[in-house]
Amino acid sequence: MTLLIYGAYGYTGELVAEEAVDRGLDVVVAGRNEVRTDHLAARLGVPGRGFDVGAADDHLDDIDVCLNCAGPFVETYEPLVEACLETGTHYLDITGELSVFEAIAERDREAEKAGVCLLPGVGFDVVPTDCLAGHLHDRLPEADELRLGFDPSGTISKGTLASVIEHADAGGKVRRGGRIVDVPTAHARRQIDFGRGERNAVTVPWGDVSTAYYTTGIENIETYTAVPPLVGSAMKLSRFAAPLFGLPPVKEALQTLARTFVDGPSERQREEGACYVWGEATDGETTVTSRVKTPETYALTVDAATTAAERILADAPTGFETPAAAFGPEFVLALDGVEGFFDE
């Protein structure tokens, strides 16, 4: 059973490839840049394939699972999903991009017909929050409102920042009455105890606005992240500049800066960092709260993505899946260094 990791020479992709090889999986590394792909393949002692995503259907016939680590995922998911459906290859990725989750969810029936699993979001985006959503739903099955949030430490990689820039003009998103609706950036603010005391938090268009609905069926969902008060105020002011981020010259200039000057967290930061994840569900009368503490977000992503790939290689469902739907809410607790669920 063979796992192809696309975008394997990127910051996160390389860490995932190293982990997959260490676990003894049959790995093929791949990416757009043939030279960088070949160098990584030689270092890891595995096969390498250099190809653009548009040519993926010529490279997946002998592959059982494709794990996409190449962001922005809005630019890579579609040709890879198409190729996976055509070749009968299971598709995973580590996206947190809400629009990508929604687009892949629409391919559910095609995937079932093809006998293929489509499982996006097997990294920090959105494994801990999705599993927490599933756990909260188990605690309060009649809940009709769900709020999730996280308080991370550390820095971000070039790929993650590229995804943020790609969607910077999209504003905020929440789910109301089962539908995703537009709201202003940072439209709601509240104090949340994520697990280390109350922090200022604002709403963000996190992937769970999409995935938690498919996991739980709850029709009203908001997602939050901890930010300093001044950052929250700046996010609100950024609403007026959001249209500028959608202009191609501005977006390309920001992407160039990200590629040039941004590095991911160091090994020490990955080992020492942590993230606190919080959620609450309510049916209007009863409210339940749960928390999870995870390792640093990239460390969690490497473990979660590799573990998800192992499980899909061993026994794959078919159709569109979320992490908690595919593996159960306890999936996150099986990952190294995760503590929880802490229930109130």
CATH of the domain at 205: 3.30.360.10
Q: Is residue 29 part of a domain?
A: yes
Query: Domain holding 15: CATH number?
Result: 3.40.50.720
pLDDT at 69: 97
Whether residues 147 and 276 fall in one domain: yes
Arithmetic mean of pLDDT over the chain: 88
Percent of the chain exceeding pLDDT 90 equals 74
Q: Is residue 339 part of a domain?
A: no
Is 275 in contact with 294 (CB distance < 8 Å)? yes
d(CA 31, CA 171): 31
How far CA 191 is from CA of 129, 199, 200, 310, in Å, comes to 18, 5, 5, 38
**CA-CA-CA-CA dihedral for 311, 163, 75, 64, to nearest 10:** -10
Is 72 in contact with 292 (CB distance < 8 Å)? no
Q: Closest Cα to residue 194, out of 218, 154, 223, 221?
A: 223
Is 68 in contact with 6 (CB distance < 8 Å)? yes
pLDDT of 340 strictly over 70 = yes
Return the amino acid letter for 117.
Answer: C
Whether residues 308 and 290 fall in one domain: no
- How does residue 344 score in pLDDT terms, banded at 50, 70 and 90? very high
Max Cα distance, the chain (Å) = 59
Is 151 in contact with 226 (CB distance < 8 Å)? yes
Choose the weakest-confidence range: 124-128, 193-197, 226-230, 234-238: 234-238
The secondary structure of residue 123, as a DSSP letter, is B
**Is the N-terminal amide bond of 288 cis, ω within 30° of 0?**
no
Whether residues 95 and 8 fall in one domain: yes
Backbone φ and ψ of 159, nearest 5°: -65, -40
* pLDDT tens digits, one per residue of 312-324: 999 999 999 999 9
Whether residues 165 and 200 fall in one domain: yes
d(CA 302, CA 312): 16
Whether residues 317 and 171 fall in one domain: no
pLDDT at 146: 98
Contacts of 136 (CB under 8 A, 6+ apart): 143, 146, 216, 279, 280, 281, 288, 290
How far CA 14 is from CA of 10, 39, 63, 72, 245, in Å, comes to 6, 11, 19, 16, 29
Whether residues 145 and 85 fall in one domain: no
Whether residues 49 and 115 fall in one domain: yes
The dihedral of CA 167, 173, 179, 181: what is its sign?
negative
Whether residues 86 and 210 fall in one domain: no
Domain range enclosing 265: 127-296
pLDDT at 244: 46
Q: Is residue 340 part of a domain?
A: no
pLDDT at 262: 47
Backbone φ and ψ of 134, nearest 5°: -60, -40
* pLDDT tens digits, one per residue of 85-126: 999 999 999 999 999 999 999 999 999 999 999 999 999 989
- How does residue 204 score in pLDDT terms, banded at 50, 70 and 90? confident
Return the amino acid letter for 123.
Answer: G
Is 325 in contact with 116 (CB distance < 8 Å)? no
Is 300 in contact with 262 (CB distance < 8 Å)? no
Mean pLDDT (whole number) for 156-184: 68
Q: Is residue 99 part of a domain?
A: yes
Q: Is residue 335 part of a domain?
A: no
Q: Closest Cα to residue 105, out of 214, 183, 3, 21?
A: 214
Domain total in the chain: 2
Q: Is residue 334 part of a domain?
A: no
pLDDT at 172: 87
* Beta strands 198-203 and 2-6, pairing class: unpaired
pLDDT of 57 strictly over 50 = yes
Whether residues 188 and 138 fall in one domain: yes
Mean pLDDT (whole number) for 248-264: 51
- How does residue 225 score in pLDDT terms, banded at 50, 70 and 90? confident
Q: Is residue 210 part of a domain?
A: yes
Q: Is residue 337 part of a domain?
A: no
pLDDT of 134 strictly over 60 = yes
d(CA 280, CA 48): 44
Whether residues 132 and 92 fall in one domain: no
- How does residue 269 score in pLDDT terms, banded at 50, 70 and 90? confident
Whether residues 119 and 234 fall in one domain: no
Whether residues 208 and 309 fall in one domain: no
